[in-house]
Structure 1
Amino acid sequence: MIRIGLTGSIGMGKSTTARMFADLGVPGHDADATVHKLYSGRAAPLIEQAFPGTTVNGAVDRTLLSPHVLGKPDAMKRLESIVHPLVREEETAFLQKAASERRRAVLLDIPLLFETAGEGRVDVIVVVSAPADVQRARVMARPGMTADRFEAILGRQMADEEKRKRAHFVIDTGRNLEMTQRSVASLMRSLAAMN
């Protein structure tokens, strides 16, 4: 089973590209979606204990949590030490299920794949990338996003240029969706030929 690691900086089109892999029959595990689920589940009491006043009705409120961790490396490390092991447990369960179903390939959507030294968890690394102006426009269109918040998030992520250098494949998401779909289909054909 080929484990495809999909990564890229904020606003580069990971979610859209992951759906394109799913459309080709490649099941995916989305680290961000898993965190979202954990924030309203088993991670919430642990985060509330570490950062009092950050949950509402038993779920983490990201707007309350953000001031505690953004731009504060030690606090961010504490949060990650709670969340990352739980995400890995979910990922392991996903991989075991996919293996039992004899899947030929799976997609692990890991936003901070390089930043968390996750290269060893995958067989192939795919980086999604778009021009900086396209990225900024996409991110700033998100509800509640501010320029300061965007810069703080970018500051935690490896530079796009460095990610592209480390990738096995780069998918340009700065053009139209059809071209991105063609790139995904071409990549899957290449992997099938290698396997």
Structure 2
Amino acid sequence: MTTPAAPLRRLGLTGSIGAGKSTVAALLRARGLTVLDADEQARHVTQEPETLRAIGNEFPGTVTGGVLDRAALAAAAFRDPQRTAALNAIVHPRVRARMAALEAQAAARGEPWVVQDVPLLFEGGLDEQMDAVLVVDAPLEERVARVMARSGLSREDVLARDARQLGAAEKRQRATVVIENAGPPDELGARVDAALHVLGIHPRSRQV
């Protein structure tokens, strides 16, 4: 008699701005885990004609010739919480559908775990749908310096963006495991391996 496959489990991956979440996501992929990037799926979704029509109807002037003006949309959608909620109501269900389809593919391949890389995991209440949550963190000044170096934003802009997210201390408290991403970058891989060990996640292949 064939033993039924264990249900797919979800590992939520998140972290404050500049913490190094994307770097950890790349290391998890290199270790054989499927990582589903919510931001990447949102970019795909906002290129679909149906989504563009809905956005254009809700935010006139943000879609021209079937192309989304992201700067105009940001200015229109993020000026107040109600407008942000209106955009989220268009985009988020479509992103969730894409993530669910990719999860189903991973389950069909027999993968025991899938990683959901979601910047606003806690803010959106999605942590409740995860079997475990991995938070990447680093000291505030180090995070600010990283973002300023890569984006050209001012210190005030970075701090303002950070303030719009759940505080790092709260994220740490609600995490299953925290990865400290401070100090030499070459130490991060070992910390990722240690976190996976604590979580009991054993990827099928390790390519690093």
What SS does structure 2 have at the residue aligned with 1:64?
helix
Corresponding residue for residue 100 of structure 2? 92
Deviation at 1:80, TM superposition (A): 0.8
Match of 1:176 among 166, 178, 184: 184
Corresponding residue for residue 29 of structure 1? 36
Corresponding residue for residue 3 of structure 1? 10
RMSD of the alignment, in Å?
2.0
What SS does structure 2 have at the residue aligned with 1:16?
helix
Deviation at 1:151, TM superposition (A): 4.4
Corresponding residue for residue 200 of structure 2? 192
Q: Considering only CA atoms, is the larger Rg found in Structure 1 or Structure 2? A: 2
Structure 1: which 5+ residue stretches go unaligned? none
C-alpha distance in 2, partners of 1:119/1:189? 20
C-alpha distance in 1, partners of 2:26/2:14? 14
Deviation at 1:84, TM superposition (A): 0.9
Deviation at 1:172, TM superposition (A): 1.2
Deviation at 1:68, TM superposition (A): 1.1
Corresponding residue for residue 89 of structure 2? 81
C-alpha distance in 2, partners of 1:15/1:136? 16
Letter in 1 for 2:9: I
Paired residues of 1:127 and 1:169 also in contact (CA < 8 A): yes
C-alpha distance in 2, partners of 1:24/1:40? 30
Paired residues of 1:127 and 1:170 also in contact (CA < 8 A): yes
Find out whether 1:135 has 2:143 as its counterpart: yes
Corresponding residue for residue 75 of structure 2? 67
Deviation at 1:187, TM superposition (A): 1.6
Match of 1:118 among 118, 126, 134: 126
C-alpha distance in 2, partners of 1:30/1:143? 20
Greater Cα shift, 15-24 or 139-148: 139-148
Deviation at 1:145, TM superposition (A): 3.6
Letter in 1 for 2:17: I
Deviation at 1:146, TM superposition (A): 4.9
TM-score by length of 1: 0.90
C-alpha distance in 1, partners of 2:27/2:136? 12
C-alpha distance in 2, partners of 1:61/1:159? 30
Paired residues of 2:144 and 2:155 also in contact (CA < 8 A): no
Deviation at 1:81, TM superposition (A): 0.9
